[in-house]
Amino acid sequence: MLIHVGDERNGTIDSYLAAALSTIAGALNAVGFLVAQSFTANMTGNLSAFADEVARGSWRTSVGFLLLLALFIGGAALAAAFISFGEQRGIRSIYAAAIAAEGGIVLALGLVLSSSESISHMVLVGSLSLVMGLQNAVTTLISSSRVRTTHVSGMATDIGIGLAALLSPGGSKDAALPKLRLHVLTLSAFACGGIGGAMLYDHVGTWLFALAGGCLLAIALPEVFRARQLPRSD
């Protein structure tokens, strides 16, 4: 799931990746909103909110939304640089290591939150925006842009395009159907993760972040060890 890259992948591998990481992303996005009233995977909304606050003259508030966007971009840039470094050296575990790093950050955030409620909301949503950008970059790069686990607007657009291809008399149904299934799965997993995360948060509170971090590590670390048993790529 986190070893094969680009054309080495098939629909089943992409589906597992989309389902697992979109579910976790949806949960983190939903609970981040419950805790701090800010979405951490919704950059379209954050940019719109920034523009709205600027128009109102609320400069201090607008900077917060702009910072979330910058952190999301920064997380994506860090992931891309990390992966480029690993690929240049033929390190097949580099994608799994990036997701493991995300899991470590989220786990640490959950432990800090659970031991002390003094952490600011801006630190929370900023950290989550960073890891959402990181995760989206990893899934985009490893799948040649077929999987984007936090890009809901893009997935909804692709679903619409896929439906049009299926319904059009001259549409290429054989090519459109696998893509449509993947996008529907990704969108559904994100929504289910949000619902499940919100419900679970009512029972475990901020320990949910530690649980999410543990799940990311459980996904990534076996892949890291498995990739190290394989020969380096050229």
In this structure, is residue 1 part of a structural domain? no
Report the C-alpha gap between 181 and 162 in whole angstroms: 9
Cβ proximity of 135 and 80 under 8 Å: no
CATH code, domain with 124: 1.20.1250
In this structure, is residue 197 part of a structural domain? yes
Q: What pLDDT score was predicted for residue 232?
A: 64
The model's pLDDT over 102-156, given as tens digits with 9 standing for 90+, comes to 999 999 998 988 887 667 788 888 999 999 999 999 999 998 888 888 877 778 8
Q: How many domains does the chain have?
A: 1
Which of the given ranges, 37-41, 102-106, 223-227, has the highest pLDDT on average? Answer: 102-106
**Domain hosting residue 15, numbered range:** 6-226
H/E/C letters for each residue in the chain? CCCCCHHHCCHHHHHHHHHHHHHHHHHHHHHHHHHHCCCCCCHHHHHHHHHHHHHHCCHHHHHHHHHHHHHHHHHHHHHHHHHHHHHHCCCCCHHHHHHHHHHHHHHHHHHHHHHCCCCCHHHHHHHHHHHHHHHHHHHHHHCCCCCCCCCHHHHHHHHHHHHHHHHCCCCCHHHHHHHHHHHHHHHHHHHHHHHHHHHHHHHHCCHHHHHHHHHHHHHHHHHHHHHCCCCCCC
In this structure, is residue 176 part of a structural domain? yes
- Indicate if the pLDDT at residue 170 is higher than 70: no
In this structure, is residue 231 part of a structural domain? no
In this structure, is residue 234 part of a structural domain? no
Q: Which residue has the higher pLDDT, 231 or 123?
A: 123
In this structure, is residue 195 part of a structural domain? yes
Q: What pLDDT score was predicted for residue 233?
A: 59
Report the C-alpha gap between 231 and 80 in whole angstroms: 22
In this structure, is residue 215 part of a structural domain? yes
In this structure, is residue 43 part of a structural domain? yes
Q: What pLDDT score was predicted for residue 9?
A: 84
